[in-house]
Amino acid sequence: MTTDTAPQAAATPVEAGKAQTLSVWGALQANVRDYGLLLVLIVIMLAFQWLTNGTLFKPVNLTNIVLQNSYIIVMALGMLLVIVAGHIDLSVGSVSGFIGALAAMLMIGWKFPPEFAFLANPIVAGIICLVVGALIGGLQGWLIAYYRIPAFIVTLAGMLIFKGLSLAILAGKSVGPFPAEFQLLSAGFIPDLVGAITLVPASEGVQPLVLHGTTLVIGIAAVVAMVLFAIRGRTRRKARGYESEPFALFVTKNLVIAALVLFFTYMLASYKGLPNVLVVMGILIAGFVFLTKRMTFGRRIYAMGGNLKAAALSGIKTERLTFYIFAIMGALAALAGMIYAARLNSATPKAGQGLELDVIAAVFIGGASALGGVGQVAGAVTGAFIMGVMNNGMSIMGVNIDWQQMIKGIVLLAAVFFDLYNKNKG
């Protein structure tokens, strides 16, 4: 630290702030995990863009990537909490399959008497499904928290049970198609209230370029809000004498993220606009970022995962917290199950099987620790996209499923290896 001529009156806060000012390089190093992962995603996307001769970045394909991975990301949010808390949930694939089946039976399969016909209403059925999912998760969480049965065992049992239950309530058959309203969850796009914006009109030899106005407006609004929020936070910190990162880094970081969001918005807008499911996902992601970073609930999860005994002795009700975490996971698995079923437009007995592994892999690629206490929502989402882009890219390239599996396995191992290597070095 260099000595300087800070005014006497402000000496204390400035000093405190000084201690927390990091050099650009230091700040980069401190956040190498967060930025690194995003960088890896960008590199993988560019690589596949090249390998697929430009197909990856086609608007229709980007939209597809979102739709294909939405249910993984939804569950990865809950799984992040579970893993940070030091547990695991192997049942989410089966639970999502079961809820998909339940949704199908409520809306199509079961013929209710007229006074109960409202149960087949897509919204009512959707709410029932979410509640049932939360109950399933809560029940498992209750066994894990209060009876101290390892989560691995409880959820392994859950996986088998709900696999069987889906088969049972579907009587081994696929049930579909769903009512149109329900399909909107996965297949729909937000209505264009603003109206189409024509950049390049259709003419001979030229591809027309028409943008979905509302999508564009929402995208720009999101970026503006994000930047304003970041600036406000920074100003407030400064006013109190704190500074967390160098200005140059702050600007670069926000520019890069803003550019990415705008690019993505533009891509989506030039196809059919924002998919409904992306709106749901966006709200959930923002909510979970807030939950983990700013809420006491989230803070307690990290404390518990970092040191269970210390957390308990600090007055955290670890049992109840565990119960809630699994209930949330269950509700998210239910939502994912509905998204999945709506996307396929039918519930099948095999739906959801094996998804738990993709979800867990996404969270670990995203930098969570298997020992608990470490992991970020942004990481888990990025991890899910890394897996999703690889799936999508390799499928376009016509890589066989056997190779796809192997490559995904290697990526998971490499991500965790890199992470541990980094930690041990630091």
Partner 1 sequence: MADTILEMRSITKTFPGVKALENVNLDVRAGEIHAIVGENGAGKSTLMKVLSGVYPHGSYEGEIVFLGEECRFKTIGDSEHKGIVIIHQELALVPLLSIAENIYLGNEQAKAGMIDWEETREGARKLLRKVGLGEDPDTLVTNIGVGKQQLVEIAKALSKEVKLLILDEPTASLSEKDSDALLNLLLDFKSHGISCILISHKLNEVSKVADRITVIRDGHTIETLEKNEISEDRIITSMVGRSLEDRYPPRTPNIGEVVFEVKNWSVYHPQHRDRQVIKNIDIKLRRGEVVGIAGLMGSGRTEFAMSVFGKSYGVRISGDVLMHGKSIDTSTVQKAVSHGIAYATEDRKTYGLNLIDHIKHNTTIANLFGISRWGVIDDLAELDAANDYRKKTNIRSSSVYQTTGNLSGGNQQKVVLSKWLFANPEVLILDEPTRGIDVGAKYEIYTIINQLAAQGKAILVISSEMPELLGITDRLYVMNEGRIVGEMPTAEASQEKIMRAIVRAEGKAAAS
Chain residues binding partner 1 by CB under 8 A are: 16, 19-20, 236-237, 240, 242, 294-297, 299-300, 302-303, 306-307, 309-317, 369, 373-374
Rank residues 58 and 237 by Cβ distance to partner 1 and give the closer one. Answer: 237
Rank residues 178 and 288 by Cβ distance to partner 1 and give the closer one. Answer: 288
Compute the least distance from the CB of residue 360 to partner 1, in Å: 20
Rounded-to-integer distance, Cα 82 and Cα 185, Å: 26
Compute the least distance from the CB of residue 413 to partner 1, in Å: 22
Closest CA to 382 of 34, 57, 31: 34
Compute the least distance from the CB of residue 81 to partner 1, in Å: 15
Rounded-to-integer distance, Cα 101 and Cα 163, Å: 10
Compute the least distance from the CB of residue 83 to partner 1, in Å: 14
Tell whether omega for the bond before 177 is within 30 degrees of 0, i.e. cis.
Answer: yes
Query: 87: Cβ–Cβ under 8 A, 6 or more apart, which residues?
Result: 144, 151, 322, 325, 326, 372
Exposure string for 212-244, b = 16+ CB within 10 A, e = fewer: bbbbbbbbeebbeeeeeebeeebeeeeeeeebb
Compute the least distance from the CB of residue 130 to partner 1, in Å: 21
User: What is residue 190's three-state secondary structure?
Assistant: coil
Compute the least distance from the CB of residue 8 to partner 1, in Å: 18
Compute the least distance from the CB of residue 84 to partner 1, in Å: 11
Rank residues 9 and 313 by Cβ distance to partner 1 and give the closer one. Answer: 313
Rounded-to-integer distance, Cα 152 and Cα 158, Å: 10
Closest CA to 90 of 168, 151, 166: 151
Rank residues 106 and 301 by Cβ distance to partner 1 and give the closer one. Answer: 301
Please say whether the dihedral angle defined by the alpha carbons of residues 136, 138, 144 and 149, taken in this order, is positive or negative: negative
Rank residues 86 and 126 by Cβ distance to partner 1 and give the closer one. Answer: 86
Phi, psi at residue 288, to the nearest 5°?
Answer: -75, -35
Rank residues 205 and 315 by Cβ distance to partner 1 and give the closer one. Answer: 315
Rank residues 303 and 332 by Cβ distance to partner 1 and give the closer one. Answer: 303
